[in-house]
Amino acid sequence: KRRMERLTKRRAYPLFLAEKGIELIEGILPGQSAFVYKGTEREKIVVLGTGWGAVSFLKGIDTSLYDVTVISPRNYFLFTPMLAGASVGTVEYRSITEPVREINRKVNYLEATATEIDPKTKVVTCESVVCDGNSCDIEDFTVEYDRLVVTVGAQTNTFGIPGVREYCCFLKQVEDARRIRTAIVNCFERANLPSLTDEQRENDLTIAVIGAGPTGIEFAAELRDFVEEDGPKYYPNLLKHVRIKVIEAASSVLAPFDKALQEEAIRVMNRSVEISDSDVRSLLPERFQLVELKLDQSVKEVTDKSIMLNSGEEIPYGLAVWAAGNGPLPITLQLVEALGEEQAEEQDVARGRVAIDPWMRAAGGNGDILAFGDCTCITRGQLPATAQVAAQQGEYLANMLNKQYDLKPSKVDGVVPPPMKTGETKSSLSDTVANLATLSNGEYAKPFQFLDLGILAYTGGGSALAQVTPAPDAPPLKGTGKIGNTVWRSVYLSKQVSWRNRLLVLNDWTKRQLFGRDITRV
């Protein structure tokens, strides 16, 4: 006991806990550096997800205060902004993923998918794929929580268009990028067979990208780089047949960007192919445009061979990549349903997502269910579905829980006040919601405020768009071409979650520069 006390004196936590009247008792948990304290039956937090929001929450949460369990079918974090690059081999899958156990070693991780949340009994039902040798079984189990943090993200929205789910590739997960990479190589190898007509070759080498938001444009840009940089080496005779068709229902591309940057993206996409090898260049038409933007065109149906547009046009394709929007996951819909009336009232705006207040409390969740990221909607003051928002929300929530705000919503004069620190007294509270949001006297938690740092998009050929916000109300700074690309590279390199990822990405970029992309299907 004396040794324990001596040890604890060297640590900050015991002092912090002592201030709160918590005493040390004997024993160190086996295999852990945490101590056991009297009066610290740590509150059990269950986190669903290992994406942008969850990881930023896990980096910030104080595990001496909370017993944290993470549940997700993915035992790693995925750096989504580089997924388009991974789908053509610019970077490797492992360079943009990080094991969740590396992110916070003091949390317990369970590899499973949450299938049902019961807010009344505070239990999550999960499904795990358990394999023994070659045979796999599905195992169900339940986990109890005191507080649930839901950050499960979203799934690709097909808008119920026939054939999309069956025939299109999506771009959300590592498996999607892997599937696309294989499919691109399949298209080229199939088109290279001697028995085909030129028309069949052109159809096989038509790659359709549906959706010209950041994901669709970045994928088209990466694909174009692959064709321009590695095509002459591997498939010089096939290049003249390659077409990248980007189909978009709106009249422009990259909706979140400023008009001038959207036009710059269109200009870059529409430029003629630049191939330095004169022998290969001579095999191509004089002005060869690889990317065709089809704006104001919506998809009616996808079949195994063609994409039918509402305009009546039929586009035969070899590979179709669907990047046209987000929709709620089944677990999100189930939670919204289980939370009842308070969620139902917000669904006109939330549209299947979990409606939350600016303190991340799910409507109807009694402060026990906290949610953020792509699976949610702050109904008063909507935010974009981006990694930036999810990461800031995760950090905010961890901070609020570390400061031990009481998250139970109570009503004062018909108004729900912000969370208040445990043990503090309720002082007089202004009646208007507008004032609630600005209270900052230290007693009430400030609502979440998104700090918009700007947006970036790679447009191919070593150019990118950067729309950076230097200060909250300042006009954005815009960069294009090589300058935009330098900003894009520096920001995404610095945003990697570990030094290991940073080095691996740098290594991939250098490797690609020296030897090109790897197209082997091993």
Q: Which residues bind ligand FAD (CB under 6 A)?
A: 48-54, 71-74, 80-81, 83-84, 113-114, 151-153, 171-172, 214-215, 329, 331, 373-375, 385-388, 390
Nearer to ligand FAD, 373 or 419 (CB): 373
Kindly tell me which of 127 and 443 has the beta carbon lying closer to ligand FAD: 127
Residue 307 near residue 321 (C-beta atoms within 8 A):
no
For residues 40 and 64, what is the distance between their CA atoms, to the nearest angstrom? 9
Q: What is the rounded CA–CA span in Å between residue 364 and residue 288?
A: 57
Q: What type of residue sits at position 3?
A: R
Least spacing, CB of residue 254 vs ligand FAD, in Å:
11
Least distance to ligand FAD, CB of residue 376, Å: 8
Cα(328)–Cα(334) distance, rounded to whole angstroms? 10
Q: How far is the CB of 353 from ligand FAD (least distance, A)?
A: 10
Tokens of 206: 């038509």
Q: For residue 59, with 0-12 CB atoms within 10 Å meaning exposed, 13-18 middle and 19 or more buried, which class applies? A: middle
> Rounded to the nearest whole angstrom, what is the least distance from the CB of residue 516 to ligand FAD in the complex?
23
Q: Cβ 347 to ligand FAD, closest distance in Å?
A: 19
Name which of 269 and 375 has its Cβ closer to ligand FAD.
375
Q: Quick check: helix, strand or coil at residue 369? A: strand
Beta carbon of residue 486, minimum distance to ligand FAD (angstroms, whole number) = 16
Q: Which is nearer to ligand FAD, 72 or 95 (CB)?
A: 72
Nearer Cβ to ligand FAD (48/238):
48
What gap in Å lies between CA 510 and CA 335, rounded to an integer? Answer: 45
Nearest approach, Cβ of residue 89 and ligand FAD (Å):
15
Up-side HSE of residue 477: CA atoms within 13 Å toward CB? 10
- What does the alpha-carbon distance between residue 302 and residue 89 come to, in Å, rounded to a whole number? 27
In the complex with ligand FAD, the residue whose CB is nearer, 239 or 398, is 398
CA distances from 375 to 6, 29, 48, 499 (A): 46, 36, 11, 29
Helices H, strands E: what count in the chain? 18, 28
Residue placing its CB nearer to ligand FAD in the complex, 92 or 301: 92
Q: Which residue is nearest to ligand FAD (CB)?
A: 51
Nearest residue (CB) to ligand FAD, 17 versus 54: 54
What are 206's strand-pairing partners? 243
Minimum Å gap between C-beta 465 and ligand FAD is 11
Question: Minimum Å distance from CB 219 to ligand FAD?
Answer: 7
Q: Cβ–Cβ contacts within 10 Å for residue 197, how many?
A: 8
Write down the least CB distance from residue 473 to ligand FAD, Å.
21
Nearer to ligand FAD, 111 or 189 (CB): 111
Looking at the Cβ atoms of 214 and 318, the one nearer to ligand FAD is 214
Report in angstroms how near the CB of residue 492 gets to ligand FAD at its nearest. Answer: 8
Least Å from the CB of residue 316 to ligand FAD:
26
**Is-contact 273 289, C-beta < 8 A?**
yes
- CB closer to ligand FAD, 60 vs 162: 60
* Structure-token match 């070693």, residue found: 105
How many C-alpha atoms does 182 have within 13 Å on its Cβ side? 9
For 292-320, give one letter per residue: b (16+ CB within 10 A) or e.
Answer: ebbeebbbeebeeebbbbeeeeebebbbb
Considering the complex, state which of residue 289 and residue 469 has its C-beta at the smaller distance from ligand FAD: 469
Query: Closest approach of Cβ 434 to ligand FAD, in Å?
Result: 28
What contacts 46, CB < 8 A, 6 or more positions away? 68, 69, 70, 71, 124, 143, 145, 147, 148, 149
The separation between CA 118 and the C-alpha centre of its own chain, rounded to angstroms, equals: 26
Closer Cβ to ligand FAD, 24 or 171, answer by number: 171
d(CA 84, CA 241): 22
3-state secondary structure 192-237: CCCCCCHHHHHHHCEEEEECCCHHHHHHHHHHHHHHHHHHHHHCCC
Beta-ladder partners of 138: 129
